[in-house]
Structures are given as C-alpha cells and as structure tokens.
A = this chain, B = another copy of it.
Amino acid sequence: MQEIENQKKRVMLTVAYDGTAYHGWQLQPNVTTIEGVLNQTLSELLKEDIKVIGASRTDTGVHALGNIAVFDTTARMPAEKISYALNQRLPEDIRIQKSQEVPLDFHPRHQNSRKTYEYKIYNHTFMQPVYRLYAHFFYGALDLEKMKKAASYLEGEHDFKSFCSVNTVAETTVRTIYQIEIVREDCMVKIRVTGSGFLYNMVRIIAGTLLEVGRGNMQPEEIPAILAACDRTKAGPTAPACGLTLVSYQYL
C-alpha cells in the first residue's frame, strides 16, 4: 500500500498586536517576543516545529494592526481556519486578523510591497491616560503646515542614510516614500508614512525630525541638506516607540 504524505504548504498570517508587553518582534533568549510566542503557539497547535518569518521586525513597544508572518506546515488544517484556532490560544494582546495559503516561494521580505506606518502624537497640555501606550505626548505648539512642507521633501526616492540608525545593516540606504500624510484630529496629530520599505528606525527618526520642525527647532527647508549629508546626526532624534504602529502591508 502506498502511503500518502501530507503536502507542505506555506501559510501567511496577518498579525496584529499591542507591543507594550513585548521585547519587539524578533526571537531573543530570555525575553518575550511576538515571534517567540507565535512559534510556540503554532508549534503546539499544529504539533510540528514551526518557525515563522516576519515581514517587519518591529521594536519593543511598537504596535501593529497588520504585520505579516509566513511559515510552512504539513498539517491538514485548512490555512484559513488557522487564524480561528490560533486566536483561541494566543494571549489577548496578539490577534491573527487573517490566515491564507500563499505560494511556496513567497517570502514576506523579498516581495514588492507597500508598507504603511502611523506615528501618533498626542498634542495637548496633559496626556489622556487611555492614549499613553499608543501615542507620544508632546504639549508644545506644533506648526502642522511646516511639518507638511518638511514631509514633502522626504517623499520620493532618496538615500535615507541620515534617517536610519547607525547600526543599520542594509545593502543600500536608498528607499522610496510614496506619501507622508499629516493630519490633526482634535488633539491627536497623525503622521502616516507609506513606502516601498523602511530602514531601521526610519519612521521614528522621520517623526522625531518632523516634531523638531513642528516646534520650530528646524526649518522645512533644511530637509534637503539633511538628506544630502547622509549623516544620522543631522536629522532629529528618534521619536519614542509607543507612538508607532505598523498599519498595513500590501503585496503588489
């Protein structure tokens, strides 16, 4: 008799989480990470040794509405049912929004994609406690028109070496930002950045630089020279992690 082997399939998860309690995405010894929790919970659920590959290795305290992870499995559970079964076992601060089968050669980081991040600043005399884990607090006046002007210089294809951590390991620091939208909704200022890809700490350094512009410590017209310098020390500080949310990944 012929034995029928279970077929291997690749599954893509859309992963949402509150990053407050996690040491970021990436697996590390002795601390709790999103990747670690996913590996462990998937391995228990599917009774296989599962290792996910994440699209974005978000930092400690950064949140996600839709990060992406893929893994291979020979389990018979249909891909689209995995989200339901996994959510039964995951802690409340991680929720799979969707699970679906993708081609076996699909890699979440080697694929053309459009990523959207949002950086939130609560801009009022005092913080509202319910936002304290999801927005950066800044009480001074912010000139949104200047921030928008500064942001417009960052749109397009540029070498973003001045806007990434000095520890960045990347073949090239050239990236394309499709759009930076800045809106105020009551006391919340939202900086929404969409691009082809982002360097380490890039969105937080963009937010920190736009804050410097908003409060009048930098002028929008300085941005081209900051880009041209290819020197991290020329841009503004890295804004705190809690204000950052990975909103969505769109594969093209």
Bits for A39-68, please: 1 = Cβ < 8 Å to B, else 0.
Answer: 000000000000000000000000101000
Whether the Cβ atoms of B128 and A65 lie closer than 8 Å is yes
Contacts of A65 on B, CB cut-off 8 Å?
Answer: 128, 130
A250 interfacial by beta-carbon distance below 8 Å = no
Q: What is the oligomeric copy number? A: 2
Bits for A65-84, please: 1 = Cβ < 8 Å to B, else 0.
Answer: 10000000000000000010
Specify the chain B residue showing the minimal Cβ separation from A125. Answer: B97
A146 interfacial by beta-carbon distance below 8 Å = no
Tell me, in angstroms, the Cα distance from A95 to B245 when the chains sit together: 24
Q: Which of under 10, 10 to 19, 20 to 34, or 35 or more describes the interface residues of A?
A: 20 to 34
Could you say which of B127, B132, B134 contacts A130, with CB atoms under 8 Å apart?
B134
Whether the Cβ atoms of A95 and B129 lie closer than 8 Å is yes
One of A86-94, A109-117, A220-228, A231-239 at the interface? A86-94
Whether the Cβ atoms of A132 and B92 lie closer than 8 Å is yes
Give, as a whole number of angstroms, the nearest-CB distance from A150 to chain B: 28
Contacts of A97 on B, CB cut-off 8 Å?
Answer: 125-126, 128
A35 interfacial by beta-carbon distance below 8 Å = no
A96 interfacial by beta-carbon distance below 8 Å = yes
Specify the chain B residue showing the minimal Cβ separation from A17. Answer: B129
A16 interfacial by beta-carbon distance below 8 Å = yes
Whether the Cβ atoms of B16 and A128 lie closer than 8 Å is yes
Whether the Cβ atoms of B126 and A87 lie closer than 8 Å is yes
Whether the Cβ atoms of B83 and A130 lie closer than 8 Å is no
